[in-house]
Structure 1
Amino acid sequence: MSRKPVVAVCGATGAVGQEMLRILEQREFPHSEIIAMASARSAGKKVSFMGRDLTVVEMTEDSFKGVDLALFSAGGSTSEKFSPIAAKAGCVVVDNSSAWRMDDNCPLVVPEVNPHDLDWHKGIIANPNCSTIQMMLVLKPIHDKARIKRVVVSTYQAVSGTGQKAIEELENQVRRLMNGQPVVADVYPHQIAFNCLPQIDVFMDNGYTKEEMKMVNETRKIMGDPSIRVTATCVRVPVFYGHSESVNIETEQKLTADDVRALLAKAPGVTVIDFPEKRAYPMPIEAAGEDDTFVGRIREDETIENGINMWVVSDNIRKGAALNTIQIAETLMERDLLRVPRG
């Protein structure tokens, strides 16, 4: 595209939408206009961008005429309805919901891992689940070097992954408990303050939650290898920002802990913090607000021949959602793919 694109941020008043606007500004994303869109109930509100207020407009079926790029973070049902409408109008959609992730016609992309999949997009590109994204950044270099056979992952996911109301619920519950008052759980099925909930999203017939199966299926699609075996347990923890993961990897070829540290030290978007003698390892309080995914506690699994354990932490709102979406948009620009193929 020779000119600067018109960019719409859809869901601009939400936590991820707000972060998208901040990152567009911080990374000086090229644009001729930024349009803030949301539902009718948010229309007329103001959001900040580059030192000025943008008035939020209602997203309608006519909203995408003249828009080149739409960054969606407005929920799955909204995306299911409006993404095809936007693409039909000639607008490329990068969607942050789960609506299009497993659609065979939609690439599921982490730019550091599979940017080439953008070459076959048909107008809608899916942003992976936040917990999947950070794991992909560390799995890809290991898979390229030694071929991964199996992954066992347990996640410890921040409440911001559920949205602004969940952040407020944790704040309110902590405040009430510290003042000896009873708490009310509206967002989650149980109290989240000072607690851990081994359920993220709904349970499925196989006993896994939908979040756990997202990690299984999305990993295989992004890596382009359906033979990789993945099993996940996803837990919600009383942390505001930053998902943590304990990841166990079994490879075909032997890698030592030092081999893995060397591989990940060169991996794009990854920072290794692994100095146990200094008690230095990744923590969500230090990952919050950062672009990189952090990895530490790298050690060999002594129960199998070719196994590695590690601890992975990333800001779920930033790299896990808004940043990855905008990196996809940047990659589309770099590869001259910011257009909807016809026919």
Structure 2
Amino acid sequence: MRVNLFDFPLPPDRIADRPARPRDAARLLHVGADGALADHGVLDLPDLLDPGDVLVLNDTRVIPARLFAQVGAGKVEIMLHRRSGPDTWWAFARPARKLKPGTPLRIAADFQGECIAKGDGGEVEVRFDRGGATLMAALEAHGHIPLPPYIKRPDDAEDRADYQTVHARADGAVAAPTAGLHMTERLFAALDARGVQRVTVTLHVGAGTFLPVKTDDTDDHRMHVEDGVVTAAAAETIQAARAAGGKVVAVGTTALRVLESAAAPDGTLSAFAGGTDIFITPGYRFRIVDRLLTNFHLPRSTLFMLVSAFSGLETMQAAYAHAIATGYRFYSYGDASLLERRPNEPG
């Protein structure tokens, strides 16, 4: 499909710079399977779901993945992307031309690294002078929260909490699974009372989620690989809920993508551990996810393509036009939408 089909004008003042406080005070646009639109708040979510539904959350934890390194007399920004070993990561560098295999990186007096490889897509592989838990501790001490590029300010102490879900557990993401940022213990209690089950999966979101689609046709775009896990216990809980008539509600496009990667064409879900570069565009036949809680996404982005596949391009164009006209806040710190999946096309 032509990428320009997924473009739309967005006034800059619709881009959220900070989250709603409390985080479950955000607005929620309900988009029905028939395209009907209804304005709600995130705290209305339990009433929009049915007893027996299963909510699937991504439990990845955002690490301070933005580093600034001394290279000779200059500075280079390093954005970690995907772990490749206990002490090595693939990363995006700016300016990348300053780095070649063997280039030393001085991040702090007691924290250093080295460029050991360059990838075909302009990425670099970095080996640090430590690994495992000691590397994570060094990132916490010297790294910065990797705010998305459309938030035009430096990260600060508030972002350490704001850009992390309350259910984060597994270190490894370099971007937040932003639909999950709306979750609170108060909302979880209301979902429990409604009879909605909860399970977690893991997809370590990479910095590639923010890369623009530079091709003219979606067939020519290639996604970066991200690592995910669906445990056998999570798969069994989801399968049981579906067998009993419940719907699978993915909290975020990341949870949806790892579920769709793990599911067989007939909708059977099994344990999964590995990388996925699944790219979902209109025409995709969804295997397992029935409802999607997600934020509002960038024009021409792979994420807007995904929601257009889920609910229909015309429906999402109308939903976004409504959101813009009525003051919804967009992107990572913005408001949310609950999408009902349009039935798969025959064939």
TM-score range, shorter-chain basis? 0.3 to 0.5
Bigger fraction of residues in strand: 2
